[in-house]
Amino acid sequence: MTVASNVKQCLVTITGIESQLSTLALNSLDREAQAVFHEAAMKIETVKKDLQYRVLELERQEPQYKGS
Amino acid sequence: MNGYIEILLRSVSFILFLFLITKLVGKKQISQLTFFEYVSGITIGSIAGEVVTGLEKNYLQGTLAVLIFGLVTFLSDYFSLKSKKFRDIMEDSGTVIIKDGKLLEENLKKEKYTIDNVLSLLREKNVFKLADVEFAVLEPQGKLSVLLKKENRPLTPKDLQMKMPSEKEPYTIIMDGKILDDALRWSGKSRGWLYTELEKMNATLDNVFLGQVDSYGELTLDLYDDKIQVPQPQQRPLLLASLKKTQADLEIFSLSTECEKTKAMYKKNAEVLQEQIDKLTPYLNG
The structure's pTM equals: 0.66
SS3 label, residue B79:
helix
Residue of B206 and B92 predicted with greater confidence? B206
pLDDT of residue B286: 62
pLDDT, tens digit (0-9, with 9 covering 90-100), for B180-197: 999 888 888 889 989 998
Distance from the B206 Cα atom to the nearest Cα atom in chain A, whole angstroms? 25
Domain range list for chain B: 2-89, 95-152, 171-231, 236-284
CATH superfamily of B171-231: bsu07140 like domains (3.30.240.20)
Is B256 within 8 Å of A46 when comparing Cβ atoms? no
Query: Going by CATH, does the domain composed of B95-152 fall within 3.30.240.20?
Result: yes
pLDDT over 80 (residue B27): no
How many Å apart are CA A60 and CA A54, to the nearest integer?
A: 10
- In chain B, % of residues over pLDDT 90: 13
Start-to-end C-alpha separation, chain B: 68
CA neighbor of B133 nearest in space, from B113, B124, B94, B106: B124
pLDDT at residue A40, rounded to an integer: 93
Most B CBs within 10 A among A15, A23, A27, hence the mutation to make, goes to A27
Query: In this complex, is the C-beta atom of A20 within 8 Å of any C-beta atom belonging to chain B?
Result: yes
Handedness of CA A31, A33, A34, A39 (dihedral sign): positive
CB atoms within 10 A of CB B218: 18
Q: How far apart are the first and last CA of chain A?
A: 10
Q: Which value does ipTM take for this structure?
A: 0.88
Residue in B188, B242, B253 closest to A7 by CB: B253
Of B210, B208, B205, B202, the residue nearest B225 (C-alpha): B208
Say if B95-152 and B171-231 have the same CATH topology. Answer: yes
Cα gap A57→B173, rounded to integer Å: 50
Average pLDDT over residues B246-263: 89
A5 at B interface, C-beta within 8 A: no
Q: How confident is the model at residue B172 (pLDDT cuts 50, 70, 90)?
A: very high
H-type helices in B83-216, by residue range? 84-90, 105-111, 115-124, 181-186, 191-200
Tell me which residues of chain A have a pLDDT lower than 50. none
Average pLDDT in chain B: 85
Sheet-wide strand order for B95-99 = B102-103, B95-99, B133-138, B144-148
Beta strands at B102-103 and B133-138: parallel, antiparallel or unpaired: unpaired
